[in-house]
Amino acid sequence: MTGIGYDVHRFAENRPLILGGVTIPHSHGLEGHSDADVLCHAIADALLGAMGLPDIGYYFPPGDPACKDISSLKILEKCRSLADGLGLAIINVDSTLIAEAPKILPYREAMKGHISAALGIPPERVGIKATTNEMMGFIGRKEGIAAMAVAQVEAR
């Protein structure tokens, strides 16, 4: 079974930029109730969709005080737990970050390590790519970052 996920967050001052569980030096972080890790959020929605479950907001409501500043790796761990409970194995995830800055390549392997550990799959089953929006739209104006992901699960 396959699922698709998409997430977007606007930049915010005085917040760390966390992508794939990695804190990346940058002038701005991302706005959100959790750590606003747009990459993990897109992957979580892809996994939840593949399992036929409600989206990330169902499990981690934006107004829930317990979710304030939560690490999005915990969200991925919840997805893994849900898969286990349904007798499903996470096969792989593939994702794309869409941003004008910062450069992602120097942090890609660390992101893969964090995500694979949270999901309980080998790092080679986690795809992370990056692209720009060619200076168009809100991403091109450097107002935020978007991410897309697909995930595959199957019965154990």
- 26-64 pLDDT per residue, tens: 999 999 999 999 999 999 999 999 999 999 999 999 889
Quickly name the fold that domain 2-155 has: 60s Ribosomal Protein L30; Chain: A; (3.30.1330)
pLDDT at 30: 98
| DSSP annotation of 71 | -
Give domain limits for the chain: 2-155
User: In the numeric block, which tokens belong to residue 116?
Assistant: 């694979």
Report whether pLDDT(101) > 90.
yes
pLDDT at 62: 87
H-type alpha helices, 51-136: 56-59, 72-85, 108-119
Report whether pLDDT(92) > 90.
yes
- 4-19 pLDDT per residue, tens: 999 999 999 999 999 9
